[in-house]
């Protein structure tokens, strides 16, 4: 059984003729602040997550702006992420994420005409090592890993900040803390992504994401565990001769109500909606008025 689990994780890590999607304003929010991603015991877990984001509103600074100011008109993305996690013992583990993205873009060509592009492919795989030996109950975790430069960055229609590939390896650093009361609990998680280099005159801005949430366990006998969290997402401006630093980089704060439904032993369903309460962009960017995510996860 342990060999089979290791094979699944190895396949996810090695399935890297992938396509690494960049995301102009906000997709990294899906990677932080969800307690199901934080292990509480040894074993193997397999998860499938679906997320959706439609960047349809033009934004400038702290407020919405006229669509006429932005050549991009709509960026709509469906995310499908298969994740495998193996906690070898109560101190060490590894996690691999393999996303598939379906992205649609409507933008303005150099001649002033509206053009569209759509691409469906594997996205950038990520691998994270986890250390949970700081506390006996595994409530404190440290994470270290990489996003890999596995996607093209020269597709027609798409600009560099919306291309499938960043073109560079990124370092991932994370930490989380879990707490539990009599009929409620809380969690906090932070993840930093730092591009290690740039290619083709383009280096993506670094991102910083922090989630703080709480869940209520008083309805557990009805197989319902509601939750509420705050998620802050910050991305620095891109840099390089092929970048657009004046119109990249943002700060966003989301309120995220969610619901966990334990289905049967080891099988859980999670869903949440992200509503932005504060948004600041550098220059003109497309933002999503809401984001949605749903996950099916099974522990073995």
Q: How far apart are the first and last CA of the chain?
A: 10
pLDDT digit string, tens, across residues 26-49: 555 556 666 777 888 899 999 999
- What per-residue confidence (pLDDT) applies to 23? 46
Taking alpha carbons only, the member of 292, 254, 296 closest to residue 272 is 292
Specify the CATH number for 2-299; select among 3.40.718.10, 2.40.30.10, 2.40.160.40, 3.40.50.1820.
2.40.160.40
Q: Are 84 and 8 in contact (CB under 8 A)?
A: yes
Strand, helix or coil for residue 3: helix
* Contact by Cβ (8 Å): 61, 280: yes
Query: Which two tokens mark 34?
Result: 């969800």
Phi, psi angle pair for 142, to nearest 5° = -120, 140
Element at 198 (helix H, strand E): none
Collapsing DSSP states into helix, strand and coil, what is residue 111? coil
Query: Residue 10 has what DSSP assignment?
Result: H
pLDDT in tens, the chain (300 residues): 554 554 444 444 433 333 333 345 555 555 666 677 788 889 999 999 999 999 999 999 999 999 999 999 999 999 999 999 999 999 999 999 998 889 999 999 888 899 998 988 887 889 999 999 999 999 999 999 999 887 777 877 888 888 777 888 999 999 999 999 899 999 999 999 999 999 889 999 999 999 999 999 999 788 899 999 999 999 999 999 999 999 999 999 999 999 999 998 889 999 999 999 999 999 999 999 999 999 999 998
Q: ∠ CA 234-254-168 to the nearest 5 degrees? A: 30
pLDDT (0 to 100) of residue 2: 53
Calculate ∠ Cα 258-39-168, nearest 5°.
Answer: 85
C-alpha–C-alpha distance, residues 175 and 32, integer Å: 10
State the burial class of residue 97 (Cβ atoms within 10 Å of its Cβ: 0-12, 13-18, 19+): buried
The 10s digit of each residue's pLDDT in 218-236 is 997 888 999 999 999 999 9
What's the confidence (pLDDT) of residue 69? 93
Residue 141's beta-bridge partner residues?
176
Whether 118 and 104 have beta carbons less than 8 Å apart is answered as: yes
pLDDT at site 298: 94
Residue with tokens 């060509």: 109
The domain locations on the chain are: 2-299
pLDDT in tens, 67-105: 999 999 999 999 999 999 999 999 999 999 998 889 999
Q: Which two tokens stand for residue 274?
A: 């992200």
Q: Global pTM?
A: 0.87
């Amino acid at each position: 059984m342990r060999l089979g689990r290791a094979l699944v994780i190895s396949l996810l890590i090695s399935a890297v003729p992938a396509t690494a999607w960049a995301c102009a304003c906000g997709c990294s929010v899906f990677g932080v602040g969800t307690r199901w991603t934080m292990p509480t015991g040894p074993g193997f877990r397999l998860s499938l997550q679906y997320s959706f984001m439609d960047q349809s509103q033009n934004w400038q600074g702290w407020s919405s702006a006229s669509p006429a100011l932005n050549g991009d008109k709509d960026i709509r993305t469906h995310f499908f992420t298969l994740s495998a996690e193996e906690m070898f013992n109560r101190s060490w583990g590894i996690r691999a994420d393999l996303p598939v993205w379906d992205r649609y873009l409507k933008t303005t060509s150099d001649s002033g005409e509206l053009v569209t592009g759509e691409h469906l492919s594997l996205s950038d795989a990520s691998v994270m090592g986890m250390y949970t030996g700081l506390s006996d109950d595994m409530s404190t975790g440290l994470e270290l890993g990489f996003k890999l430069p596995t996607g093209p960055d020269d597709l027609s229609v798409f600009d560099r900040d919306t291309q499938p590939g960043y073109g560079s390896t990124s370092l991932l650093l994370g930490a989380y803390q879990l707490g539990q009361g009599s009929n409620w609990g809380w969690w906090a998680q932070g993840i930093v992504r730092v591009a290690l280099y740039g290619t083709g005159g383009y280096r993506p801005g670094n991102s910083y994401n922090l989630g703080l949430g709480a869940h209520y366990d008083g309805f557990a006998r009805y197989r319902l565990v509601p939750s509420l969290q705050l998620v802050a997402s910050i991305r620095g401006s891109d840099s390089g001769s092929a970048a657009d630093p004046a119109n990249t980089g943002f700060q966003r704060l989301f309120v995220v109500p969610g619901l966990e439904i334990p289905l049967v032993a080891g099988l859980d369903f999670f869903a949440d909606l992200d509503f932005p309460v504060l948004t600041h962009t550098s220059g003109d960017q497309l933002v999503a008025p809401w984001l949605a995510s749903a996950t099916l996860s099974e522990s073995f």
